[in-house]
Amino acid sequence: MKKNAGEKAVEWIEDGMIVGLGTGSTVKFTIERLGELVQNGLNIQGIPSSVKTKRLAQKIGIPLIELTNEIIIDVTIDGADEVDSNLYLIKGGGGALLREKIIAYHSKKEIIVVDESKIVKALGIGFPLPVEVTKFGWSATKKAIEELGCTAELRKIMDEVYLTDNSNYLLDCDFDHIEEPVELSEALSNIPGVVEHGLFINLVDEVIVGSRQGTITLERETVPI
């Protein structure tokens, strides 16, 4: 299912494009397919959203550039942890939410690739919301976030505190379900110490959903609000 969605998105890529390269197990299939096309003559430049994606892209021969004020990203292909009926997302399971959101913001078109299990009735039902915070005062920031109605846990890997590519901490915040994602997005952004959060609001143009039978494409303007 992931492979179906990831490879379908490649159809949007044209010669000469600057492409935002997302992070995750589904978009990995996109990047690998793009690598094959580059080896066969496709002329693109990629902007990776994480160190992990950068290493993969370099390994398979995709030319990479930095995001600067002179760059216009034609299309970004990325994954998501949850997608609701408004095409709002929860992202950050892979820890790259800050760079992913920066790249999404500066893209003409944002395409999300997921398998059908990621489509949900309400965000936060099956996946905690990642929030990237500064090391300084992180526990005070955690308390302020929890006052919004969640239980927050500092992300750890093998008992070691997880650091993002930006050397920040991640809090995984369990809201049970998020009734008002727009309002929550604004509230989180107003807390000092919050660098960025994994709610992606009005940043997505299309979602390609993979299933065993193939793919379907959801577009923002055709999704019921």
Give the integer Cα–Cα distance in Å for 200 and 204.
8
Residue 172 has pLDDT above 70, yes or no: yes
Residue 99 has pLDDT above 70, yes or no: yes
Pair (111, 31) in one structural domain? yes
Give me the percent of the chain exceeding a pLDDT of 70: 98
Owning domain of residue 52: 2-115+201-212
Q: How far is CA 83 from the centre of its chain?
A: 11
Residue 95 has pLDDT above 60, yes or no: yes
Give the integer Cα–Cα distance in Å for 80 and 163.
20
Pair (104, 208) in one structural domain? yes
Residue 222 has pLDDT above 80, yes or no: no
Residue 62 has pLDDT above 90, yes or no: yes
Q: Is 100 a catalytic residue?
A: yes
Pair (108, 159) in one structural domain? no
Residue 213 has pLDDT above 90, yes or no: no
Residue 82 has pLDDT above 80, yes or no: yes
Structure confidence at residue 98 (pLDDT): 98
Pair (206, 110) in one structural domain? yes
Pair (38, 97) in one structural domain? yes
Structure confidence at residue 50 (pLDDT): 97
Whole-number Cα distances in Å, 20 to 96, 109, 168:
13, 10, 22
Q: Compute the average pLDDT of residues 131-147.
A: 98
Q: What CATH number is associated with residue 67?
A: 3.40.50.1360
Structure confidence at residue 196 (pLDDT): 98
Provide the mean pLDDT of the chain. 95
Has residue 137 been placed in a domain? yes
97 neighbors 61 (Cβ within 8 angstroms): no
Q: Compute the average pLDDT of residues 61-69.
A: 97
Q: Compute the average pLDDT of residues 124-144.
A: 97
Structure confidence at residue 221 (pLDDT): 63
Give the integer Cα–Cα distance in Å for 135 and 149.
22
Give me the percent of the chain exceeding a pLDDT of 90: 92
Pair (149, 107) in one structural domain? no
Q: Compute the average pLDDT of residues 100-125.
A: 96
96 neighbors 50 (Cβ within 8 angstroms): yes
Residue 225 has pLDDT above 70, yes or no: no
Which of the pair, 6 or 128, is modelled with greater confidence? 128
Q: Are strands 194-197 and 129-133 parallel, antiparallel or unpaired?
A: antiparallel
Candidates 82, 100, 110, 196; catalytic one? 100
Has residue 8 been placed in a domain? yes
Pair (9, 33) in one structural domain? yes
Has residue 45 been placed in a domain? yes
Pair (23, 76) in one structural domain? yes
Pair (48, 94) in one structural domain? yes
Pair (33, 100) in one structural domain? yes
Q: Compute the average pLDDT of residues 123-145.
A: 97
Pair (180, 145) in one structural domain? yes
Has residue 223 been placed in a domain? no
Structure confidence at residue 224 (pLDDT): 45
Number of domains in the chain: 2
Pair (187, 80) in one structural domain? no
